[in-house]
A and B are shown apart, each in its own frame.
Chain A
């Protein structure tokens, strides 16, 4: 069975601080995908990133960066110089990636981390 754990329920920072959101996962699959989604106060889910299990290269996109470490089953997300608009709930998710597409993309989500950025 797959499991995603986001140990930080809530994080509060002041604008311009850097903040890291932790994500630890469990899976028996050798190939899988990891995701981060943002859910702003309006409620919709915004896709941020997808990572293949065989690609451990870290990724940076503007103020966002992701650190994938297979050895510790972690996929952490860092926001540099946080802004008030970053306030949202952030979800880490996992999907198996079996050959032939038999996993059908079913996502297992973590509990989410509420990030509040104060001005």
Chain B
């Protein structure tokens, strides 16, 4: 049981490049979330999903897109990377009926230069 996995662990992007941050969970959780953590700050919700095919915006969705074609996977897409997107990205999941028990992945550290 791997829990929540994220790839890659680290990435450096040039301004304007695109990339997809991968997130997968093997706990059959309905809910999945993407947060970003800027230096010296708490986490902020980017997008979340309550099930396959259903996604919604969080607090800071601009510059990102998500999709949820399967229960297991919840990729986060950056289309035109900007320095303001330099951050650590955390994926989390929780099960139906207990959305407050979120299990977090190890994070992806992204630098945009």
Contact = CB atoms under 8 A, between A and B. Distances in A.
A55 to B, nearest CB: 13
* Contact size range, A: 20 to 34
A107 B107 contact: no
Given A95-B100, A105-B99, A110 B106 contact: no
A112 B42 contact: yes
Nearest to B105: A44
Contacts, number: 61
B43 A109 contact: yes
Is chain B's binding surface mostly helix, strand, loop or mixed? strand
B45 interface: yes
A104 interface: yes
A79 B99 CA distance: 27
A43 B97 CA distance: 28
Contact of B107 (A4, A43, A50, A105): A43
A64 interface: no
Given A106-B58, A108-B45, 8 more contacts: A9-B40, A43-B88, A45-B104, A104-B48, A105-B31, A107-B43, A111-B40, A112-B41
Interface of B: 31, 33, 35, 40-45, 48, 50, 58-59, 88, 90, 94, 97, 99-102, 104, 106-107, 109
Interface of A: 4, 6, 9, 33, 35, 43-45, 47, 50, 91, 93, 95, 97, 101, 103-112
